[in-house]
Amino acid sequence: MKAFMVEKYGDPTTVRAGDAPDPHVGAEDVLVRIDAASVNPLDMKIREGELKAIVPYRLPLVLGNDFAGTVVRTGSSVTRFAVGDEVYARPDKDRIGTFAELIAVHQDDLALKPATLTMTEAASLPLVALTAWQALVERANVQPGQKVLIHAGAGGLGSTTIQLAKALGAYVAATASTAKVDLVKDLGADEVIDYRTQDFSELLTGYDVVLDSLGGETLAKSLRVLKPGGLAISVAGPPDAATARELGANAVMRLGTTVLSAKIRRQAKRLGATYSFLFMKASGDQLRELTPLIDAGKIRPIVDRVFPFDETLQAMEYVEKGRAKAGKVVVSMA
């Protein structure tokens, strides 16, 4: 099959198009013909080797972390899916590879595609929608009336998380650039902070949850808007020991993540808050929880641009250089 593979950790020149073996299909696996896949910042982090200490991969590796497609074969023990089903998923972290013509996915990680979406739209959602769900529902247990701050509200993760937070009944503030304020309001944000002209940490207070996708100074300042007992969840800050345990890291790596996250955890504790790093995981069950919200129009995908499969490298460059105006960038086989 045709695929885009990273041959060694490094810059964009380490990724090439080539032929890869067709996936092995186990008893509980579903073989899917990929119709579309989205580009995520995670793809570049993997390519650069940023995660190799906690998620080691054997190279060469086919990149890509979510997709939509059509089932072409099922393993002997598969009970949930049949040939011809239209599906979408974020594969397990150990079985990524959606920048390819085919992928084998465990049936537990797969869900039927939302009926109201095209393949391109569906491919834009699994990773960001699961991240939003695991942050707001699984980890923060957001309740109606609680206050949630979401950074980079016009981005792929931010735009999806705003909509989920509103569906959960939360009051939502979000940060965005001047040009994107109207879009973020249209997504449902109750309050939008123009980060080019305003300092969110001086304007917001008493928040229950912050979802941070930027890290650094933004994460540190986010702690100040939380009320006592509040929770800062980051996908860009330093990993913590709990994440290392979830990923099955050894004792040395768990110690390393404890050290890396020590400063931000101390800052949070001084303010009566808690810091938590999130490395999202695959879950077909959670996608099935999200699908009715999507089909009801409560979560709609925001797609910035669609590239043909042959231009996957250009799509990655487009994302990496920050050219996307809002939402996700998708690679399509069509």
CATH of the domain at 89: 3.90.180.10
Residue 334: is its pLDDT beyond 90? Answer: no
Of the pLDDT bands very low, low, confident and very high (cuts 50, 70, 90), residue 251 is confident
Same domain, yes or no: 133 and 239: yes
pLDDT digits (tens, 9 = 90+) for 51-61: 887 788 999 99
Q: 188, 150 in Cβ contact below 8 A?
A: no
pLDDT digits (tens, 9 = 90+) for 185-239: 999 999 999 999 999 999 999 999 999 999 999 999 999 999 999 999 999 999 8
- Rg from Cα positions in the chain: 19
Say if 285 falls within a structural domain.
no
End-to-end CA distance of the chain: 16
Mean local confidence (pLDDT), 235-257 = 78
Q: Is 282 part of any domain?
A: no
In a domain, 296, yes or no: no
**pLDDT score at 257:** 76
- The answer as to whether 240 is a domain residue is yes
- Whether residue 154 is found in the same domain as residue 174: yes
Residue at 220 is within a domain: yes
Confidence bin at 243 (pLDDT 50/70/90): confident
Average pLDDT over residues 48-77: 94
117 plus 141 within the same structural domain: no
pLDDT at site 241 = 75
176 and 118 co-located in one domain: no
Same domain as 106, residue 34: yes
Say how many domains are in the chain. Answer: 2
Tell whether 292 is covered by a domain.
no
Asked if residue 237 and residue 112 are part of one domain, the reply reads no
pLDDT on residue 60:
95
Name the residue range of residue 110's domain: 2-124+301-332
Phi, psi of 280 (to 5 degrees): -65, 155
Q: Note whether residue 113 is domain-resident.
A: yes
Residues 30, 117, single domain; the answer is yes
pLDDT of residue 245: 76
| Mean pLDDT of the 122-129 span | 98
Contacts for 72-75: CB closer than 8 Å, 24+ residues apart: 72/31, 72/32, 72/33, 72/102, 73/25, 73/30, 73/31, 74/25, 74/29, 74/30, 74/31, 74/107, 75/25, 75/26, 75/27, 75/28, 75/29, 75/30, 75/107
pLDDT value of residue 55 = 84
| Mean pLDDT of the 148-165 span | 98
In whole angstroms, give the CA distance from residue 111 to residue 122.
Answer: 11
Global confidence as pTM: 0.96
Q: Are residues 17 and 150 in the same domain?
A: no
Collect all residues with Cβ–Cβ distance below 8 Å to 96 and sequence separation of at least 6: 46, 61, 62, 63, 64, 65
What pLDDT, on the 0 to 100 scale, is given for residue 52? 84
Between 249 and 39, where is the model more confident? 39
Pairing state of beta strands 171-176 and 147-150?
parallel
Provide mean pLDDT across the span 110-125.
Answer: 98
